[in-house]
Amino acid sequence: MKYIDSHCHWADLRFPQTDEEVQSLMQRCLEKDIDFFLQGGVSPEEWLRQIELKKKYPENIGLCFGLHPYYVADHPAEECERALDELAQLLPQAMALGEAGLDFRPHILKESEGLQIEMFENQIALAKTFQKPMVLHVVQAHEKALQIFDIWGAPEKRGMLHAFSGSYETAMRFIDQGFLISVGGAVTYEKNKKLRDCVSRMPLEFLLLESDSPDQPPEGWNGPNEPVSIYSVAEEIGLIRNISPLEVLERNTQNFKRLFSP
């Protein structure tokens, strides 16, 4: 079976950028039977780099465009509105809308709470209009995000909560809304007890695996994170659930394909 990295950032400028470097990275992934990579969108400039990658690797790269909370927090409302218009133009060619959501950590938030909420609500509306699943980035704002979905309703295609590190109870509230829970390298750290408890108890049909590369490497990883690290994530989840890592990887592939089925 071929495996999927449900969330990563090949268009990130910290990732390999030359054709030779990207080809070498792709080869390392293919040798480990990882052959599809859903991107996480963060800004208009990054969306365009995704499109160029897709031209080079049409069978391997999944496009995903969104206005990341980081972008929203760092740009005035007028620029965010223009970016939202551009998103509406490009979204038909993407598999999903994201990353979209809320990040209320003090060093991110600054004075952007109102604008973050407005842009999140606008992107929910776009996901509904274009029938796209959403890739959610929610940090220290799960209650507000759930409140917004209670008011607006979730998109018909639902989506995934990426890089989840919260509790079982929080995960189940998103699962009750129809979202899948995507887990990365954080689960490999013993200190993340809430996440490890969540993974031990949540229904496997709602689990996805991601590298979030080049960020969030698993414990013991050296250098920038790469998609092959999902093997370390699968191994740790397998230990927690007392199942084989390959079963975890296969579940991820099955769940991902179900999420993106017509």
Is 9 annotated as contributing to ligand binding? yes
Burial class (CB in 10 A: 0-12, 13-18, 19+), 57: middle
Peptide bond into 214 cis (omega under 30): yes
Is 99 annotated as contributing to ligand binding? yes
Torsion over CA: 135, 256, 229, 45 (sign): negative
| Crossing angle of helices 168-176 and 193-201, rounded to 10° | 50
Q: Which helix (H) or strand (E) holds 255?
A: helix 245-259
Q: Where are the beta strands (DSSP E) in the chain?
A: 3-8, 34-39, 61-62, 64-65, 96-103, 134-139, 159-161, 180-183, 207-209
HSE-CB of 188 using CA atoms within 13 angstroms = 19
Is 212 annotated as contributing to ligand binding? yes
Is 111 annotated as contributing to ligand binding? no
Is 162 annotated as contributing to ligand binding? yes
Torsion over CA: 158, 55, 226, 16 (sign): negative
Is 74 annotated as contributing to ligand binding? no
Is 195 within 8 Å of 186 (Cβ atoms)? Answer: yes
Give the annotated binding-site residues for a divalent metal cation: 7, 9, 99, 137, 162, 212
Give the annotated binding-site residues: 7, 9, 99, 137, 162, 212
